[in-house]
Amino acid sequence: MTNPKAVLFFGALYSIGVPPGTDVSALITVIVAIGIQSFVMFHAYALIFSSAPMTAAYTRMKRGFETVFALAFGAGSLSILTARFG
């Protein structure tokens, strides 16, 4: 609850994916299912990315990742700067 992006994301997800008038037990089921899925996935990521082989692989590929993301964000920024509104 301390991450406003997560609260907004899940609020938007529920407002689109859960129809009005849905039973409370169905809402609780959805919330619990997403909670369990998040718990399992984030712990799996932590275990995988804390292993020595994965840490070494990331260290080798770090510069490439940063380059690709810098180019993507730069292209997105350029697109916004040159957009015509109206």
Summarised one tens digit per residue, pLDDT across range 9-65 is 888 888 888 888 889 998 889 889 988 998 999 999 999 989 999 999 999 999 999
Q: Is the pTM of this model over 0.95?
A: no
More confident residue, 64 or 7: 64
Find, among 38, 33, 36, 30, the residue nearest to 6 by Cα: 38
**What's residue 62's pLDDT?**
95
pLDDT band at 1 (very low <50, low <70, confident <90, very high): low
> Which amino acid is residue 61, in one-letter code?
M
